[in-house]
Amino acid sequence: MSSLENIKITVVGLGYVGLPLARLFATKYPVVGFDINQGRINELNSGTDSTLEVSADVLQSVLVDKPSDSNGLYCSSNLADIKGCNVYIITVPTPVDKNNRPDLTPLYKSSETVGKVLSKGDIVIYESTVYPGVTEEECIPVLEKISGLIFNKDFFAGYSPERINPGDKEHTVEKILKVTSGSTPEIGQKVDQLYKSVIIAGTHLAPSIKVAEAAKVIENSQRDINIAFVNELAKIFNRLNIDTHAVLEAAGTKWNFLPFKPGLVGGHCIGVDPYYLAQKAQEHGYHPEIILAGRRLNDGMGEYVAHEVVKLMVKKDIPVKNANILVLGITFKENCPDVRNTKVIDVLNALKDYDANITVYDPWAEPAEVKHEYGWDSIRELNDFRDYDAIVLAVAHDQFKKLDLMALCKENKVIYDVKGILGDIADGKL
């Protein structure tokens, strides 16, 4: 790859991160979007994005019928369609397993895929969140083994961590400053120029791939720790019968006070990334106390919310067993269909232990996906207007702000506000 004029890009993984990036690059370059999920490919080629990250008109404006040398996006699950590209951008998920250990399987598999088509002079750029060292120590050996090529002689690598915020229509990919890096100084410049050509917010070229990896993993770890702090404050102030949100509002009048709020910390990034950094630290003989303490506290908030709801019900002489409880929302954040690693599931599982009858209402979540991921039934329309003994506002979707919650409840009821948006009608909140 000698210049930006000759670039042909493959984006591997067309989810919440990959599709917006592929769409953006397709405005200036020939792009093949590759995904192993044929259902996803069919959906995108029909001009629809079920993640709602790219609107139908924007997606359709860049779609092309076949791979070509002209600008545009062609989506495929066929390995042959990506063989002629010279920049491969990998945007697959990096989850943790049931023991919260990093699971690099998607990265290994996607590296094997790219290794099969890699040619001399190509650049492979990773965007997936990882601990420092994964790109060069875990992924590059896979590329070398499958391709038979030599790293930094025959092919090169870069790392540019994703900063997509699912559901955010204001901070879209091109409006978020991008950190870039390369396996050599020259490749670092090329990677930086490539992203700078489409990212209007600009770029920051890090001195090494490991620095860029570390920068990404601490972004979400920092946020996780700050939310854990205010979650702990909420637990303390609830015992003192003090309104946590009122305290935070008062403290926020100081110019350098950080405006974090208590809540359920889920999703694919904040609830996962700290474990990647912790894993690497432990491999080098250091036990990260603050990072893991924050994770433990945030991971326990779902169960805490459930127990607070039950305590309020007991205080009001509402029988918990066989009570009808409405839980509003199961996605990991508001106005977004993403249910990955949602901590609302912890609230549901804890309430289930009390043999309550639970209705999960979320107009954004796909019921089939909720059922597949968690085994819970959910509804997208609230047609059953039974009198509920308790309502838990778990996610602040805009639709919920318009609901007449009082009309859904019995006279003696509990309304618990996880998000702190209901005001005086709530009997309890974080």
Q: Could you give phi then psi for residue 62, rounded to 5 degrees?
A: -110, -10
Give CA–CA dist 11/430, Å, rounded: 41
- Tokens of residue 359, six digits: 């209705």
- Report how far residue 248's alpha carbon sits from residue 230's, in angstroms, rounded to the nearest whole number: 9
Other C-beta atoms lying within 10 Å of the C-beta of residue 360? 24
Closest CA to 120 of 150, 158, 143: 150
What's the sign of the alpha-carbon dihedral 280, 284, 290, 296?
Answer: positive
Q: Catalytic: 409? A: no
Token reading at 340: 């990955």
Catalytic residue among 75, 85, 269, 336: 269
169-207 burial: b if 16+ Cβ within 10 Å, else e: eeebbbebebbbbbbeeebbebbbebbbebbeeebebbe
Q: Which residue has the tokens 């106390």?
A: 289
Query: Residue 276 is encoded by which pair of tokens?
Result: 């990647």
Alpha carbons 185 and 207: distance in angstroms, whole number: 8
- Which amino acid makes up residue 246? A
The encoded tokens of residue 222 equal 């920092």
Q: Where are the beta strands (DSSP E) in 283-423?
A: 324-328, 357-361, 388-393, 409-417
Tokens (6 digits) for 344: 């609302």
Do the Cβ atoms of 248 and 300 come closer than 8 Å? no
Phi, psi of 234 (to 5 degrees): -60, -40
What does the alpha-carbon distance between residue 96 and residue 268 come to, in Å, rounded to a whole number?
Answer: 10
Q: Cα(366)–Cα(43) distance, rounded to whole angstroms? A: 15
Active site members: 269
